[in-house]
Structure 1
Amino acid sequence: MKQNEKQKQSTRDLMGINEITDYSIKTPAGELIYFIIRPTNISVLSDTSVSARIYALMTVLKGIAEIEMLCLNSKENFDDNKQYLKKRIEDETNPVIQKLLQQDSSNLDRMQVQMATAREFLIIIRLKNEKEADIFSYLSRIEKSLKDQGFTTRRSDNADIKRLLGVYYEQNVTTEKYEDYDGERWIVREH
């Protein structure tokens, strides 16, 4: 019986999500609001500037008790493809094909280097029992605090949340639009 019940669970049930709203994810443990932070390339900053960025983040963290953080690696991983090409190059006897495979491998290396900084940093606010009327002013204060400390940020919307879930659970960084239901794009709606 338990196996049958598990098979009937939706994807949202399995992930512990009650609802995806226009601006949040509602879970049994609270409502999650995501702020997307554009990363700073600290490798080009001086030690003093890096210390200032750390202090700014510390200031934000001290001011918000409900804060959680998440870093997503929003880049494609080509390791399996590169291993496959390496094996093919070793096994290939035709020098022309070997050269083409080597070019493919070099192209994957270039693509991976270009995407190396494709990371997303998220500040997550978990709301529990807050009054609906107070939520947006509270979130605006958090966003203002982040911006006042020099962070480029924005609150995620429904499409952002679906994309973040796709990256987090599936490492899917190529889908442009996520559907609410599998096959939704094929439904013909009459107006």
Structure 2
Amino acid sequence: MGKRERKRRQETDTRHLIGVQALTEYGLVTYGQETLVYFLIKPANLSVLSEASIGRRIYALMTVLKGVAEVEMLCLNSRESFEENKLFLRRRMEEEQNPVVRSLLEKDQKHLDRIQVQMATAREFLIIVRLKEEEEREALAYLSRIEKSLKEQGFSVSRAGREDIKRLLAVYYEQNVTTEKFEDFDGERWIIQED
């Protein structure tokens, strides 16, 4: 790797790496000059619905999707994943010679299994709309129509705000669901404003 390539990589910030130019109040602007707008869908508990009710929900979603060509769907874990931790513990148990340490590793793995079972239904469902260089006034009216359409079809929906989008990015990229307030840039919480 050449000297210029190393320098370029060092100067590349996190936003460039993930393709995010800016966060607005209603979306995420990419370097491709499109805005991604996220709608948070509160999931229904399908296990208590009849087959006919589930069919109606599917048809309602299909109606929304047919009406808006730019819609994409996304499902995210809204809780941390412990799969890599469990793999590590399994490997360590296979390698470990000390029975006491192996027993502790097994207990750790059982604990992670219990936590994961408790969080198994922690999913977030999103509808994403990609906007191409539209005027903000027109975009807001268009997004309001989409949100109204989703609500008319019986979905509990809200447009993701700036903090919601930062939380979604944190969950997606670093599986971080424990932070209360996400920073706009690394180290923001450590800056002390002088009077």
Determine if the TM-score, normalized by the shorter chain, exceeds 0.5.
yes
Aligned partner of 1:166 in structure 2 is: 170
Consecutive unaligned residues of structure 2, counting only runs of 5 or more, are none
* Counterpart-to-counterpart distance in 2, 1:101 and 1:2: 43
Aligned partner of 1:17 in structure 2 is: 20
Residues 1:31 and 2:72 aligned together: no
Consecutive unaligned residues of structure 1, counting only runs of 5 or more, are none
Which of 148, 161, 171 pairs up with 1:157?
161
Question: Counterparts of 1:74-113 in structure 2 under 5 Å?
Answer: 74-86=78-90, 91=96, 102-113=106-117
Residues 1:140 and 2:141 aligned together: no
Q: Taking structure 1 as the reference length, what is the TM-score of the superposition?
A: 0.87
SS of the counterpart of 1:122? Answer: strand
* Counterpart-to-counterpart distance in 2, 1:80 and 1:137: 43
Aligned partner of 2:124 in structure 1 is: 120
* Counterpart-to-counterpart distance in 2, 1:41 and 1:34: 22
Aligned partner of 1:5 in structure 2 is: 8
Over aligned residue pairs, what C-alpha RMSD do you find?
2.2
How many pairs does the alignment contain?
190
Q: How many Å apart are 1:87 and its aligned residue? A: 5.9
* Counterpart-to-counterpart distance in 1, 2:43 and 2:11: 40
Q: How many Å apart are 1:84 and its aligned residue? A: 4.7
SS of the counterpart of 1:43? Answer: helix
Deviations 1:112-161 (CA, angstroms, capped at 9, x unpaired)? 11100111111111111322222222211111111111111111111111
Residues 1:56 and 2:60 aligned together: yes
Q: What fraction of aligned residue pairs are identical, expressed as a percent?
A: 58
Mapped contact 2:33–2:133 kept (Cα < 8 A): no
Q: Taking structure 2 as the reference length, what is the TM-score of the superposition?
A: 0.85
Residues 1:70 and 2:94 aligned together: no
* Counterpart-to-counterpart distance in 1, 2:43 and 2:23: 25
